[in-house]
Amino acid sequence: MHELKRSDVVKLVALQSNKYQKDVVEILDAYYTVLQEAILTGYKITIPKIGTFGNSQVDAKPERMGYNPQTAEPMMLSAQEAFNKPVFRFSPTFKETMKQETLGKVL
pLDDT for 107 = 39
Strand partners, 85: 56
- Entry pTM: 0.64
Cα–Cα distance list, 53 to 34, 65, 85, 102 (Å): 12, 35, 11, 24
Mean pLDDT, residues 96-105 taken together = 74
**41-57 residue pLDDT tens:** 889 999 999 999 998 88
How much is the mean pLDDT over the chain? 89
Distance CA 4, CA 18 (A): 20
**Tally of residues, the chain:** 107
Percent of the chain with pLDDT over 90: 67
